[in-house]
Structure 1
């Protein structure tokens, strides 16, 4: 059931208990208050979807409580319950903004139906708000003052006019999925499904089932037929993130699907036609993966008809103030905290960071600052210790190197730093780095650190 929280207010314990038992049996989360004053104190600390209150109570009665709830701006609805029904009371309550009016002694099903109606309305409102916020967030993340990112958007929009397969390259956290969604929204397929799949979160066997689907009984645990992501994305867009993590065997099946424009569910030999736009993304160097025979060259040429490289945040620092404002507004709303001041020098520190974790790292930093804020103030001291300073130019040495090598060195140093802070706990380090354990193991292997950290 959709989570729905009800605060029952009645000065008679017997009625409070009856309502609690009845409502909890229906699956609602119920809290009780013995007075209007207690109700208002609870609402100051916790949000509810509905206040179900008795009309006649000592102190603040039901009508006064309704007025106070509306005046205070609490978002909950109110249903008035009374043993003394008059037309005047009902009209008065509805004029003050009550959702409904229930008479003690009536069939409880009448009250339950009224609450169920409110549940459906509230769910619809929240779903619509979630869609609206998601769309606003998506549009906001496309705002830019960076010429590099504007070029990315220009190429992406142009590419969307074709049906060509697209490969997005860029470091983790740069917003490759945002670009993939932008391409989908700019294409003729925008009214069809956009289906994202993160290839690194599934094991090889599970990923094949996820992509191609399976028939009932195809393997142990396949208790029913399931369509895969290819079929789900038919006529729309399939986005394969972290495609560099695909096992070679899965690469072969993916190549066949792309070439033949057909798939076969696991456990079936029936071909199913597919018509979709394929967008892939990776933060790996696929040229290196091909040389080391971890990625098929023929698949590479199939997926990169058009290649778009998404710049890291350090190469579009003009956008950092825009992103800070967006994340700050977002977390103030989510956490119901108002930020009224920012300590001197904090914005400069946030802007000067190199952000190896890109937009995701900036987002996490802003969330941390809001969580730890006191008296409405953001403070420099609440930034993660490893992010206080700007880049130290002297550490690069006298010999100039390709940017790729510098990135690798920086990444290796930071992974070591996180592992030390986590006492070499791989799971904890992967969580902080916002990557999977498997991806962290791959990084350790790539940098020759496996023996040191994996026992």
Structure 2
């Protein structure tokens, strides 16, 4: 998909704005217009433009004043000044304030395009560096904990990081299994090679085989070109297979052969390709139960579980929740560019006491939803009282129901709340609670939940 890049043109002369618009739209840019400095600043408050093309001389606020305001308020915006006059003093002043460049209207438009491309490259580089910095900060934060169980797990990671032993990560959906797998890769001797993550639940058997092993052109209908599989792509590095308990018996047999021989064959080919990767698997299923049920091969289970690590659910890490809340708030402040002044006391109390069946993923989703809906700078969770999140006293009286009926009642209430929290968006809800979209559809039909979704 081609990158969309936006430019705001600020000029009091309509014909100049139209000329720039035609020139830049022909190059694929998305253009906004403002006929004055005040209008430009108003637009910038509600819509993000990474590049501003601003005339120097305008009625009201001058271009220099607009430049000062933009550079003061928007660190990641580059401004190119435009004028019909080639005054050196004005150019020097603009550059001192922070203008990226300076273009004279009578010059060749190609000069302007060159300046814009330079600014675009700089912004992309800054964005990349910010992503790297954010990733490092994210890693530093998520790889520390005040919880004893999590501390022990993180210490174990350091102990096994340099080995190539297969690792099986256990834990509920949303606890951060991929983050732990990434950490293992980053501290290993394979850290300079690829880290490839696959969620096995997302693919049918045929698609998963093609995704893992690759295929030759013409090997099946729709195989219009050769495809390198993820095992081959991960050569020298680490492959992380999430939801390993979801793969079919057919794929299990082929996967076991790969682990035994360290060779693969692309679909449609009999040529063997050697592969060398560290394997990390994860599941929220009880694989021993799956073995007893005939759904998972026992020999494969013992090949993937050289080391087993169990990640505690968020409800058992209450001492980490406040730090996580602050972490996600800081991240979304940058992403949404919203000035959040505080989080409502009742909302914070709710978040600190909630049990999080969807774990870290659910907490992240809740914070994101509050950011999207926030209009006054105060994060709040409308219609949810903090008292409902408090743990029930284990000594309080409750009616003993048939286990299956009690489980059904819990599932129904849980799904109603999860759907409501995600605006009845089935795809998003399924992702948050760790079900496939099809599984959630089946649950909705089983418990007749559509009446609660209107």
Q: TM-score, normalised by structure 2?
A: 0.89
1:191-230 equivalence runs, <5 A = 191-230=192-231
Any conservation in 1 of the 2:412–2:447 contact (CA below 8 Å)? no
Query: Structure 1 residues 383, 192: CA separation in 2 closer, same or farther (over 3 Å shift)?
Result: farther
Any conservation in 1 of the 2:55–2:81 contact (CA below 8 Å)? yes
1:9-408 equivalence runs, <5 A = 9-73=10-74, 75-379=76-380, 381-382=381-382, 384=384, 388-392=388-392, 393=394
Alpha-carbon distance between aligned partners in 2 of 1:453 and 1:204, rounded to the nearest angstrom: 30
- After superposition, give the CA deviation of every residue in 1:80-128 in whole Å (9 maximum; x if it has no partner): 2222213333223222221111122222111111111111111111011
Any conservation in 1 of the 2:166–2:304 contact (CA below 8 Å)? yes
Structure 1 residues 165-174 or 130-139, which shifts more?
130-139
Query: Structure 1 residues 123, 427: CA separation in 2 closer, same or farther (over 3 Å shift)?
Result: closer
Any conservation in 1 of the 2:358–2:432 contact (CA below 8 Å)? no
Counterpart for residue 440 of structure 1: 440
Alpha-carbon distance between aligned partners in 2 of 1:250 and 1:407, rounded to the nearest angstrom: 36
Query: Structure 1 residues 338, 81: CA separation in 2 closer, same or farther (over 3 Å shift)?
Result: closer
Any conservation in 2 of the 1:204–1:250 contact (CA below 8 Å)? yes
- After superposition, give the CA deviation of every residue in 1:285-327 in whole Å (9 maximum; x if it has no partner): 1111111111111111111111111111111211111111111
Query: Is 1:430 aligned to 2:447, yes or no?
Result: no
Secondary structure, counterpart of 1:388 in structure 2: helix
Per-residue deviation, 1:409: 7.0
Per-residue deviation, 1:38: 1.2
Alpha-carbon distance between aligned partners in 2 of 1:12 and 1:194, rounded to the nearest angstrom: 53
Per-residue deviation, 1:337: 2.7
Query: Structure 1 residues 396, 136: CA separation in 2 closer, same or farther (over 3 Å shift)?
Result: farther
Alpha-carbon distance between aligned partners in 2 of 1:5 and 1:81, rounded to the nearest angstrom: 17
Per-residue deviation, 1:199: 0.7
Aligned length: 447
Alpha-carbon distance between aligned partners in 2 of 1:199 and 1:113, rounded to the nearest angstrom: 46
Any conservation in 1 of the 2:50–2:78 contact (CA below 8 Å)? yes
Per-residue deviation, 1:53: 1.6
- After superposition, give the CA deviation of every residue in 1:211-266 in whole Å (9 maximum; x if it has no partner): 11111111122111111111111111000001111111111111111111010111
Query: Structure 1 residues 431, 300: CA separation in 2 closer, same or farther (over 3 Å shift)?
Result: closer
Query: Is 1:417 aligned to 2:419, yes or no?
Result: no
Structure 1 residues 140-149 or 82-91, which shifts more?
82-91
Query: Structure 1 residues 96, 454: CA separation in 2 closer, same or farther (over 3 Å shift)?
Result: closer
- After superposition, give the CA deviation of every residue in 1:184-211 in whole Å (9 maximum; x if it has no partner): 1121111111110011111111111111
Secondary structure, counterpart of 1:53 in structure 2: strand
- After superposition, give the CA deviation of every residue in 1:150-192 in whole Å (9 maximum; x if it has no partner): 1111222222232111100000011111111111112111111
Query: Structure 1 residues 383, 213: CA separation in 2 closer, same or farther (over 3 Å shift)?
Result: farther
Any conservation in 2 of the 1:213–1:227 contact (CA below 8 Å)? yes
Any conservation in 2 of the 1:365–1:383 contact (CA below 8 Å)? no
Structure 2, gaps ≥5 residues long: none
After superposing on structure 2, the runs of 4+ consecutive aligned residues of structure 1 that deviate more than 4 Å are 383-387, 394-399, 405-411, 413-416, 418-429, 449-455
Backbone CA RMSD of aligned residues: 3.1
Query: Structure 1 residues 408, 265: CA separation in 2 closer, same or farther (over 3 Å shift)?
Result: farther
Structure 1 residues 198-207 or 418-427, which shifts more?
418-427
